[in-house]
């Protein structure tokens, strides 16, 4: 293990986190809201530790696969520990609640324990939302972009950090890939902010919702999210950008290079669009036929909630707990599926669903042609057995953890729907769920133990299980997990 290089990277990450805290500190000082010490103290701690760590002398300037995994896991835990301090110091929250809230922010989950966010200092609300924007693309991807001297070892970070079964490079060098991703991220953020401002949303609210939508997080500056927000333009703008944010960012890179044929051949994109269109249509019909007074409003709310839940953003413009059972069933499926690989969205990822459907089709064909050699084709390419195995392992792990965790959570006294929903929404990094954690409620009633457990589930979901699991295995088994 290259502990000195790992420590040095953690030092850079602390300094980067400090830089992202600066806007909230400035806002606090300008508005004199009394929360400035809540930022000054963690910033001072982070700068002190960061400067010590980045000045460590290293002999080996590369990372092994396990080094990359340890760096990613330690980074997410470290930024959450430090990032929780402003809420603990300035907002009067317990540290466990603060930690849960910030883990939810960095993992872009959007689950909350806060019942009156409007009463919080705006600087704290801003920091809470900035964590979405940082976590959406991944603070490690940002670090890799700034540290091109890492060389080949940087891929271990990029692979462990990037969501999806394959860490796709959109440039020949990892540092170039991460920089291009952040350029795309910045452009989309700027466009969304301008659109929201033109639609009549105040500057602060536009910032908060831009960070939440691009990171597919879900933290809002309002306790009821977007339910009381008037103006159809805002709802449709957010719906469009939630869809764009949960689409594989490699698609935008291909479009910028005018590689339209590769975009058209992308199986995940085609399935993703089909799922969204069908889900919106079915829920619109269900809502209109069972009580909605207007077909337009049924379409608006359906489009918003489908893109919100499927992108794992978790914003709400209606209390979907009151919707018909069929519509809620569709939302639960979308919650589990999630967005595309290589996006800021969570969940299982559409690419895995696409390949799973191809596997089912192949097994059906083998039933009648047992000796046939039938490769699994995705995007016009034959998938290796290793990729297929990793997808099966991921899906199996997801459902085993979901079932066991639901059983554990029901011991807290909640009903099965609330228990399963709490697990699914944290594991898929969605945010609000159903039952007692519906769009008008949150996780505040859970004990500290379960809040910490849900924090673990959020980290497991964001890092897709194997990154963390590989740290707690040895020898041959660890090598097998790393391959997954």
- Please count the other Cβ atoms lying within 10 Å of the Cβ belonging to residue 448: 13
**What are the beta bridge partners of residue 377?**
382
As given in the structure block, the two tokens for residue 277 are: 């269109």
109 marked as binding residue: yes
Query: 380: Cβ–Cβ under 8 A, 6 or more apart, which residues?
Result: 265
108 marked as binding residue: yes
Check if the beta carbon of residue 478 is closer than 8 Å to that of residue 123: no
Check if the beta carbon of residue 349 is closer than 8 Å to that of residue 341: yes
Residue 22 CA: distances (Å) to CA of 26, 127, 219 = 6, 9, 19
Check if the beta carbon of residue 460 is closer than 8 Å to that of residue 73: no
216 marked as binding residue: no
**Where are the extended beta strands (E) located within 24-73?**
none
As given in the structure block, the two tokens for residue 102 are: 């910030």
What gap in Å lies between CA 424 and CA 352, rounded to an integer? Answer: 17
217 marked as binding residue: yes
Q: What are the b/e assignments for 281-291, b being 16+ CB within 10 Å?
A: ebbbbbbbeee
429 marked as binding residue: yes
What gap in Å lies between CA 329 and CA 97, rounded to an integer? Answer: 30
What gap in Å lies between CA 29 and CA 37, rounded to an integer? Answer: 10
Q: Is the dihedral angle over the CA atoms 147, 148, 151, 157 positive or is it negative? A: positive
Query: 403: Cβ–Cβ under 8 A, 6 or more apart, which residues?
Result: none
What gap in Å lies between CA 464 and CA 472, rounded to an integer? Answer: 15
419 marked as binding residue: no
Kindly tell me the burial class for residue 147, based on how many C-beta atoms sit within 10 Å of its own C-beta (0-12, 13-18, 19 or more): middle
Task: Provide the angle, in degrees to the nearest 10, between the axes of the packed helices 174-198 and 154-161.
Answer: 40
Q: Are strands 377-378 and 381-382 parallel, antiparallel or unpaired?
A: antiparallel
Annotated binding site for K(+): 108-109, 217, 312, 429-430
List residues forming the annotated binding site: 108-109, 217, 312, 429-430
């Amino acid at each position: 293990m290259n502990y000195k290089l790992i420590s040095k990277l953690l030092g850079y990450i602390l300094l980067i986190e400090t830089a992202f805290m600066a806007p909230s500190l400035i806002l606090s000082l300008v508005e004199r809201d009394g929360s400035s010490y809540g930022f000054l103290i963690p910033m001072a701690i982070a700068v002190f530790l960061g400067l010590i760590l980045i000045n460590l002398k290293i002999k080996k300037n590369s990372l092994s696969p396990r080094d990359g995994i340890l760096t990613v896991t330690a980074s997410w835990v470290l930024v959450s520990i430090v990032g929780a301090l402003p809420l603990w110091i300035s907002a009067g929250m317990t540290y466990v609640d603060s930690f849960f809230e910030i883990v939810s922010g960095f993992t872009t989950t959007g689950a909350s324990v806060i019942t009156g966010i409007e009463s919080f200092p705006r600087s704290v609300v801003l920091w809470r939302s900035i964590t979405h924007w940082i976590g959406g693309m991944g603070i490690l991807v940002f670090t890799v972009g700034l540290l091109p001297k890492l060389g080949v070892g940087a891929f271990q970070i990029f692979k462990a950090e990037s969501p999806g079964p394959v860490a796709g490079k959109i440039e020949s060098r990892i540092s170039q890939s991460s920089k291009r991703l952040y350029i795309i991220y910045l452009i989309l953020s700027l466009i969304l902010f301008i659109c929201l401002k033109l639609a009549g949303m105040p500057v602060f609210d536009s910032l908060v919702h831009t960070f939440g939508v691009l990171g597919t997080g879900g933290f809002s500056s309002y306790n009821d999210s977007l339910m009381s927000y008037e103006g159809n333009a805002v709802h449709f703008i957010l719906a469009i950008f939630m869809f764009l944010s949960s689409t594989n960012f490699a698609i935008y890179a291909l479009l910028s290079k005018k590689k339209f044929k590769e975009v058209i051949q992308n199986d995940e994109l085609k399935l993703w669009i089909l799922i969204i269109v069908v889900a919106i249509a079915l829920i619109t019909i269900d809502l209109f036929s069972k009580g909605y007074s207007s077909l337009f409003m049924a379409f608006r709310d359906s489009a918003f909630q489908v893109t919100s839940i499927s992108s794992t953003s978790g914003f709400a413009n209606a209390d979907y707990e009151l919707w018909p059972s069929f519509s809620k069933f569709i939302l639960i499926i979308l919650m589990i599926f999630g967005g595309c690989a290589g996006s800021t969205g969570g969940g299982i990822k559409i690419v895995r669903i696409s390949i799973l459907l191809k596997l089912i089709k192949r097994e059906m064909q083998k039933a009648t042609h047992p000796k046939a050699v039938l490769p699994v084709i995705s995007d016009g390419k034959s998938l290796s057995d290793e990729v297929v195995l990793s997808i099966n392992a991921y899906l199996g792990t997801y459902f085993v953890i979901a079932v066991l965790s639901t059983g554990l959570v029901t011991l807290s006294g909640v009903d099965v729907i609330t228990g399963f929903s709490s697990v699914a929404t944290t594991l898929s990094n969605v945010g609000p769920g159903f039952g007692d954690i519906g769009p008008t409620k949150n996780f505040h009633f859970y004990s500290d133990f379960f809040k910490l457990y849900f924090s673990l589930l959020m980290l497991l979901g964001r890092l897709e299980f194997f990154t963390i699991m590989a740290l707690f295995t040895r020898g041959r088994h660890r090598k097998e997990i790393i391959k997954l």
